[in-house]
Amino acid sequence: MSLRSPVPSVWVRSSDFSLVESILFALVGAWPRASRITELDTLSHEMDVRAGARWVVILVFAVLAVPAQAHAQTDEIQVYNGELAPVGTLNLTLHNNFTPDGLTAPAFPGAVIADKSWNGVPEWALGVTPWFEVGLYLPLYSRDKNAGWGIDGFKLRALFAVPKAADRTFFYGANFEFSFNAKRWDPSRFTSEVRPIIGWHLKPIDIIINPIVDTAYDGFGNLEFVPASRVAYNFKSGWAAAVEEYDDFGPLHNLHPAAGQVHQVYGVIDRTWKEWDIEAGVGAGFTDVSDKLTLKLILSRDLAKLTTKKPAQ
């Protein structure tokens, strides 16, 4: 896979920044009114939201406005639902994927070969505010049938979402990731992901869309469109059954032809068991450039409350 020539950097005027920040503030600032949570409708909340909107704008332009290639593999096969760790709580999520029948050719020289490979990563998350969570993926690891085990890098992320997304009919958010990649994992040392989150809890049906774009910091024109979506049915027993789709359409300025696009559909089951959230799925690929069969397992639980309770008066 050849590297593309960089495009000129994008300059952002302060007036543009203020306009985008104002739009985000208008949307985010509507959370208390939309949800009728009057206790949040305070000056303190307004200042927090304004700060949050500013950070979202900074992250958007930091990720996208700096002068992509699709990953040969992925460590995280998941549709984001906007739910955050409670404030001050450390959460651990274990991502594990195995590809019994995958692509047998490397995506670039020296890349991990998908066929018969195992990959995953522990994801460490901390709730910072009711609408903001930070995360660390470390270490990313994989094993392929030729090169064996290896470390693939690490990722940092910032997740912004409407508070108490699980309790709302309509919810939304955005996730930003920054990756440092080993040479076996990606031809670009630094890559990032911008993942908008849009969804509806229609009880018992959930519909969630993540219209993701990836960047290798080679300009807006080379953003890769890699959306993910999920439709789930929630049973009264606590189980959920879902269909998820993961796609890679290629760069926005020149989408791949249908035969060159990645399309995978997963059948997924979810269950909370004691302190663990469990998600397991089987995915099938429907094009020649998609892995034919992939298995995923995600285990998640809260580890510790890092804030100290105030003594009773």
On the CB side of 57, CA atoms within 13 Å amount to 21
pLDDT at position 312: 53
pLDDT at position 96: 97
Q: 59-92: b or e for each residue (b if 16 or more CB lie within 10 Å)?
A: bbeebbebebbbbbbbbbbbbbbbbbbebebebe
Residues whose CB is less than 8 angstroms from the CB of residue 194 and which lie 6 or more positions away in sequence, other chains included: 60, 63, 64, 174, 175, 176, 212, 213, 215
- Please report the domains of the chain, with CATH numbers, ordered by start residue: 14-64 (no CATH), 89-304 (2.40.160.40)
Assess whether the previous peptide bond of 139 is cis (omega < 30° from 0): yes
pLDDT at position 136: 98
| pTM for this entry | 0.77
Torsion of CA 65, 68, 73, 77, to 10 degrees: 40
pLDDT at position 3: 32
Angle between helices 14-28 and 43-64 (to 10 degrees): 130
Ordered mean pLDDT values, 10 residues apiece, the chain (313 residues): 31 38 42 40 47 50 42 81 96 98 94 96 98 98 94 97 98 98 95 97 98 92 94 97 98 95 98 93 97 98 74 51
Residue 82's φ and ψ, nearest 5 degrees, are 80, 0
pLDDT at position 51: 52
pLDDT at position 17: 39
